[in-house]
A and B are shown apart, each in its own frame.
Chain A
Amino acid sequence: MTLQHYLVISAILFSLGIFAVLTRKNAISILMGIELILNSCNLNFVAFSRFVSIPDNPNNIDGQIIAIFGIVLAAAEAAVFLAIILAIYREFGSIRPDEVDTLKG
């Protein structure tokens, strides 16, 4: 496995995430797309941390640390997102983004 393998997988994950966000008609599926995007970034960070070495710091674990924080933030974001989806469901009786459109102009 070289760096390229990881990067290709993370690029595919990222694209799938963007695709899900753009095409899904359900707020929960959009949340899953967002999670894919964030996890592709984490994969990137860990892969770079493993394969890229800089002269004065050969055992560079910065990327792995960033990935851990990335996981925490993804969880926080999911929590807030789900809370807002609940509020949306109470007000609109639906969690389809195309039915939540009172604001426009």
Chain B
Amino acid sequence: MDSLKNIESLLYFIPEILLVVFAAAVIIFDLIVKDRESDKVAYLALVGLGCSLLAILITNSIIGTDEPRNLFFGMIRLDEFAIFFKILLILATSATILFSLRSEELDVKLKGEYFALLLAVTFGMFLMASSTNLLMIFISLETVSLTSYILAGFLTHSPRSSEAAFKYITYGAVASGTMLFGLSLIFGMTGTGDLAEIGERLPEVLASGEVTALGLLIAITFILAGIGYKIASVPFHMWSPDVYEGAPIPITAFLSVASKAAGFALFLRFFYSGFKAPGILDSVDWGLLLAVVSALTMTVGNLAALPQRNVKRLLAYSSIAHGGYLLMGGVLLTSDGLSAILFYLIVYLFMNLGAFYVVILVANDSGSEMIEGFRGLSSRSPLIASAMMIFLISLTGIPPFAGFFGKFFLFKAVIDIDSGFYWLAFIGLLNSVISLYYYARIIKAMYFESADETESFYSTKSALVLLTVFVIPTIFIGFLNIFYSLSGNIALQ
């Protein structure tokens, strides 16, 4: 397929350009406005995200009937898959900005650089979702990582936050260095950086014996270190509980949803477009490798979550486990698996962000993120307690909420074809049962334990409205056909 030249590509690159322009505008605006108590900077960032969303929808309608475009000499690719992730990421970032305004831990009123960084990290994630070249993959990954390190350490006077940033960058730098080494090996085997060309040339060089299957396996394992670190899969998950606990809660929510989604976008595009050819699969059976990683990830995540008393840390381990469930869809590299992952990411966005938002509200009220803060929430604020229960039940995967349908399709993607991966679905099922235990502990604290304090719960009307925005999709997504067709129609070539 032909690729567009630089100037021609700019037309399709407007959503990204808008993000960069608004990131700069936010910083300048921050310098001009003197009123330290207003939220204007945050709203400017939200406007930027809105404009970008509009531009995405317009580019979508342009390419909708046509075939996907390869931009900037084939560096990035604009297709339905990229547009899906861009919309998902815009939603996650907007939610994070709204959370940040309401979190008392983060005093971000008029902190231009915070919102500028959030826009910049979204820009990096856009590129992650659309890169089709080894160079672009690495640059976008690093853009996202470097900005996330700063965001995780944004509470400059909190030792926890600085420590989180330190651990994040130490693990992250090693993981991305390892990944770059793997990418260099792939480049050496094929002599090209383009994923589609790699997919064509790898079977040839494997067949001619220039490259051995073992070499390819080593390269893929190295690359999985970088991708696995982004999606927090075992054994590259060690950073995630510490970082999630130390970072400000809105950033924790952002990392657990947006960063994971972008990691999966990269993972899917990389393996679906570059390494799916039969000639490669015959010599290196990395479906089994992924299945083992997936099983370990969910088991380790769920078992480690069991003894946690800090809800933020508990949700961090739960997020690792969900990464494991999501990987299940990628094991067989089928289009069913792809749409199951995409559908689950939509569901996960709403239920996980919602759960983190309740943690923010409770932390605002009690000043800590421990499970004790949730005691007696049902009598102090029935609305927030019932919302949290819906999120937790959905995260467990119990009907009738959206999480159940999401998990159902992930299991179905493994079971559907006669391939011998039934054991993986079985492990997933066992893990769902384990996870019920720790999610139910929060529900028990909310409904069956009496509150330590008798004052009424501190929250605002607008906080409840924002909470409803997450509750309604969590209840209804499973029953709406549009979301299935949305995620089912997307294919990767």
Contacts and interface: CB of A to CB of B under 8 A. Distances in A.
B153 interface: yes
A27 interface: yes
A91 B159 contact: yes
B406 interface: no
B188 A44 contact: yes
Given A38-B177, A41-B180, A66 B135 contact: yes
A64 to B, nearest CB: 11
A85 B166 contact: yes
A44 B184 contact: yes
A37 B183 CA distance: 13
A41 B177 contact: yes
Interface of B: 134-135, 138-139, 142, 146, 149-150, 153, 156, 158-160, 162-167, 169-170, 173-174, 177-178, 180-181, 183-185, 187-188, 190-193, 201, 241-242, 245-246, 307-308, 310, 313
A18 interface: yes
A34 B163 contact: no
Interface of A: 14, 17-18, 21, 27, 30, 34, 37-38, 40-41, 44-45, 47-48, 52-54, 57, 60, 62-63, 65-66, 69-70, 73, 76-77, 80-81, 83-85, 87-88, 90-92, 97, 100-105
Contact of A104 (B174, B178, B242): B242
B177 A17 contact: yes
Given A37-B178, A91-B162, A92-B159, A84 B169 contact: yes
B450 to A, nearest CB: 26
Most buried by A among B167, B181, B184, B246: B184
B217 to A, nearest CB: 16
Contacts of A48: 184, 187-188, 191
B187 A18 contact: no
A54 B189 CA distance: 10
Nearest to B246: A103
A57 B183 CA distance: 20
Contacts of B173: 34, 77, 81
Nearest to B308: A105
Nearest to B146: A80
B191 A38 contact: no
A18 B174 contact: yes
B473 to A, nearest CB: 32
18 contacts: A37-B177, A38-B177, A45-B187, A53-B191, A54-B190, A54-B192, A62-B187, A65-B135, A66-B138, A76-B142, A76-B146, A80-B169, A81-B173, A87-B165, A100-B163, A103-B241, A105-B241, A105-B307
